[in-house]
Amino acid sequence: MSHRNDALRAARLRAGWRTVEAAAAALQAHGQRLLDDAHFTVSPRTWRRWEGRQEQRGWPPEETAQVLHDALGRWPEDLGFSAPAGWIRPERQYEDQVERRTFITVTQAQVRTDLGDGHGVIELCEAALDDSDHLVPKARIMAMQQQAHGASLTGDRTTVDRLIDTANGLIHRVDDDLPWGNACRRTPGHLEVQRATCYGRLGLAREAGLLWSQILDAVPSTARRDRGVYLARQATAAAAGREPDQALEIARSAAAIAVETRSVRLARELATLERAMRPWQDAVVGRDLAEILAPVTEGA
């Protein structure tokens, strides 16, 4: 087994640097141009140590690591060096910053969605997606699905479908270990839930109802809170479609789950339903809804 750094040697030869001396001189000149620093140096002795035994190589300084990457197209850990604890590639550091910024931006967009500010949601999500080349698929999905909610608030079904369809095409690529945004991978039919919610907001009662029926058929019996939330949204979509009697019947099941689980999220969805049903608050159906929701309100 060779004790030489064959990875670095192979990269040197591919670059046309036939000797250690030529490699050191070429990298030094490259670094001086890249860093605009006439004092950047790489000696033949240093390069020879890099191509030697593992325990002698050490780890290049950060600027030298950047120069090696720019000159040879690889970071030191791909060139036979052992990365020290805590080393994060500069490009990964930038991507981490972009992803954190995206998460914050999408969270702000969710607040704007709750406030009904469609254009504000769209602007925030478009800003988040400006750096999409540096985003992991999950972050892009989060931004696109929230932008779809913004589009639904402006009455733009075409954009809703385009964004949800594009996000769907990224689901199979989600494989990161980020601690946030995992619903797209964990929740069955997550993006169709977003589409159905958008359809309800658009007043597309029939289309939303069909989607909610399909989604609910796939919800495990153990996922009571999710089922309740989806039922409440289905009822809200029915109310938006001027079908108050249908909304009432669906609400019965959602309210029963709310009483059972004491889910805050479900209680919020039922409050949204109650607002959607205000046109019928003085009718029999409205009074029946108030009676159904009373135990939920009392327990809140």
* Calpha distance 105→170 (Å, rounded): 20
**Residue burial 158-181, b: 16+ Cβ < 10 Å; e: rest:** ebbeebbeebbebeeebeeeeeeb
pLDDT at residue 151, rounded to an integer: 98
Encoded tokens for 204: 């597309």
pLDDT at residue 178, rounded to an integer: 62
Domain spans, the chain: 6-87, 90-186, 202-300
Residues in the chain: 300
pLDDT at residue 142, rounded to an integer: 93
Whether 106 and 142 have beta carbons less than 8 Å apart is answered as yes
Phi first, then psi, for residue 73 (nearest 5°) are 75, 15
* Calpha distance 107→211 (Å, rounded): 26
* Calpha distance 270→241 (Å, rounded): 17
Query: Among residues 191, 166, 195, 169, which one has the least CA distance to residue 181?
Result: 191
Encoded tokens for 157: 């079904």
Whether 220 and 227 have beta carbons less than 8 Å apart is answered as no
Whether 102 and 131 have beta carbons less than 8 Å apart is answered as yes
pLDDT, tens digit only, all 300 positions of the chain: 557 899 999 999 999 999 999 999 999 999 999 888 889 999 999 999 999 988 888 899 888 988 999 899 998 999 999 888 877 777 666 667 777 888 889 999 999 998 999 999 999 999 999 877 778 888 899 999 999 999 999 999 999 999 999 999 998 888 766 656 677 777 878 999 999 999 999 989 899 999 999 999 999 888 999 999 999 999 999 998 899 999 999 999 999 999 999 999 999 999 999 999 999 999 999 999 999 999 998 755
pLDDT at residue 85, rounded to an integer: 82
Rg (CA), the chain: 28
Residue 36, C-beta contacts closer than 8 angstroms, at least 6 positions apart: none
* Calpha distance 155→167 (Å, rounded): 20
